[in-house]
Amino acid sequence: MTNPSVIGRLDIEKIRTLFPVLHQQVNGKPLIYLDNAATTQKPISVLKALGHYYQSDNANIHRAAHTLAARATEYYEASRHTVKEFIHASEVEECIFTKGTTEGINLVAQSWGRSKLKVGDEVLISGMEHHSNIVPWQLISEEKGATLRVIPMNEAGELVMDEFEKLLSPKTKMVAVVYASNALGTINPVKEIIAKSHAAGAKVLIDGAQATSHIPIDVQDLGCDFFVFSAHKVYGPTGVGVLYGKRELLQQMPPYQGGGEMIKEVTFEQSTWNELPYKFEAGTPNIADVIAFKYALEFVNETGKEKIAAHEKELLLAFTDGLTKFGHTIQLIGTAANKVSVQSFLIKGQHPFDTGMLMDAKGIAVRTGHHCTQPLMKRFGVEGTVRASFAVYNTLDEVKVLLEAVHGLTKQVNK
């Protein structure tokens, strides 16, 4: 379906050979996978690492002296070092493995929030947050008597920064915002948000789930207090994520869960806690997937984020430009000037679920629905959207097929 091409000096056809799942037919058509904002596909190196662990190194980590345990521990901690370099943390102890972005946010809300928030305090989030960066703050705010406030968006899907500054006050204790919107693609000015929040005395958590595969991440340069992301959106396995936190804050925070590994000493009278990062990693972790995650990050590093971003931008521009040629039959949701490779849209007169099913019949996988951003959908006056999201292994030929499919559906609606 695709011709050998090099876009942004990347050999996309060669990259596609690294992803076995792409080479199949769905409903009799070659698969075109455009649901990357939900989860990315996994390269062979990740799949091999998973198999190798279970075939050769399966053992629990940190708590045994035998060879398999030593190997598993070494590989597990090697992934932590790779994460540290990938986000440019100052030390590996600031990188905590979680189940994903959602657990990382819940950890901060329940541990930091429970120990620091009090009646009258305020938590500030944005109007484009994923439910996982809304609900945990609602729960802890209700419990502690704090107030949740929301930064509004404009019609393009960009935060209104003047209103953000008005919302900041001495009452603001936490600002939790998404780096890039999963529903709109909008890249937020997080460095500016962090600086202004700190000037007001607030801590900042950045939800990097959608940004980390597209944008170089340097948590020290950003200056954020917490940063969370998921492996499965960066070509890695599901069930793994990372919480970065500044050491001084993590040391102050009580454990999120109790059990093995997170303790130093246990008696029936009291327990003492392990050092960072293990204080927040109770129980047997997702060892195999953490080990495999290293290979996903190495894939991104070897491919080059700048080249990936340039390729994805070309795909996004080709798609959005193509959609605009269909005129009033297409409604674009999210037209920010600065975006990652995500575009939501509606075919006027057609429910997004119907669009999604008709696309699937052509072998095209797109996401439909509210994308776990119901308040955002309400802001734009829609129940849901069709979302196409692009990754490094997608091609301009696939964009062409997608646009042809959209064009065919618009003609059906207009009959």
Q: Is there a cis peptide before residue 277, judged by omega within 30 degrees of 0? A: yes
The domain at 6-35+304-413 falls in which architecture?
Answer: Alpha-Beta Complex (3.90)
pLDDT band at 3 (very low <50, low <70, confident <90, very high): very low
* Residue 381 zone, left/alpha/beta (φ > 0; ψ -120 to 50; rest): left
Band the pLDDT of 274: cuts 50, 70, 90.
confident
Beta strands in 121-270 (DSSP E): 122-126, 147-151, 172-178, 203-207, 226-230, 241-245, 263-266
How high is the pLDDT of residue 266?
A: 67
Residue of 233, 227, 231 whose CA lies nearest to 193? 227
Written as six digits, the tokens of 172 are 């603001």
Residue 2 clears pLDDT 50, i.e. is over it: no
Whether the per-residue pLDDT at 8 is higher than 50: the answer is no
- Residues carrying an active site annotation: 372
Domain spans, the chain: 6-35+304-413, 48-302
What b/e sequence results for 244-274 when a residue is b if at least 16 CB atoms lie within 10 Å of its CB, and e otherwise? bbbeebbeebebbeeeebbbeeeeeeeeebb
- The pLDDT mean for the chain works out to 94
CATH numeric code, 48-302: 3.40.640.10
pLDDT classification of 261: cutoffs 50, 70, 90? confident
Average pLDDT on 112-126 reads: 97
pLDDT of residue 272: 67
Q: Is the pLDDT of residue 6 over 50?
A: no
3-state secondary structure of 155: coil
List, for residues 340-367, the tens digit of each pLDDT value. 999 999 999 999 999 999 999 999 999 9
200 pLDDT higher than 50: yes
| Residues of the chain above pLDDT 90, percent | 89
333: amino acid identity, one letter: I
| pLDDT at residue 406 greater than cutoff 70 | yes
**Angle at which helices 352-360 and 396-413 pack, to 10 degrees?**
130
Judge contact between 379 and 157, C-beta under 8 A.
no
DSSP 220-259: HHHT-SEEEEEGGGTTS-TT-EEEEE-HHHHHHSPPSS-S
Instruction: Note the pLDDT of residue 263.
Output: 67
